[in-house]
Amino acid sequence: KNQVEQSPQSLIILEGKNCTLQCNYTVSPFSNLRWYKQDTGRGPVSLTIMTFSENTKSNGRYTATLDADTKQSSLHITASQLSDSASYICVVSAQAGTALIFGKGTTLSVSS
């Protein structure tokens, strides 16, 4: 069964600190992996999208990594800001299809 598992479920960090969120998937065949940020009461916003040939992709202070062999991805947030408080969702796309498999998300709280 195609699944996307994220950890931790929630995380609290101090402003200015770094953090890493994890995503493991069992989707096959694999097409691409996406990270979204969802602020409370808003729709998800795309951060990165990576195919199996891409190991790392950055978007400002957000850096996503992908290991297609172990089927793991991580999202690293550098020098966190209060505005980073949100849910971060890992999404995997199966090849040649419109179906996306969404993880349940990691809720990040950044405190001052």
Partner 1 sequence: DAGITQSPRHKVTETGTPVTLRCHQTENHRYMYWYRQDPGHGLRLIHYSYGVKDTDKGEVSDGYSVSRSKTEDFLLTLESATSSQTSVYFCATGQQTNQPQHFGDGTRLSIL
Residue type, 58: S
CB of 35 to partner 1, least distance (A): 10
Which residues would be at the binding site for partner 1 (CB under 8 A)? 4, 31-32, 34, 41-46, 49, 89, 93, 97-105
Give whichever of 29 and 42 is closer to partner 1, judged by the CB atom: 42
Give whichever of 37 and 65 is closer to partner 1, judged by the CB atom: 37
Give whichever of 69 and 96 is closer to partner 1, judged by the CB atom: 96
Give the closest residue to 32 by CA, choosing from 110, 108, 97.
Answer: 97
CB atoms closer than 10 angstroms to residue 23: 25
Name beta bridge partners: 18: none
Residue 35 host element (H or E): strand 30-38
Token pair belonging to 61: 């202070």
CB of 14 to partner 1, least distance (A): 27
CB of 112 to partner 1, least distance (A): 26
Give whichever of 38 and 72 is closer to partner 1, judged by the CB atom: 38
Token pair belonging to 94: 């199966």
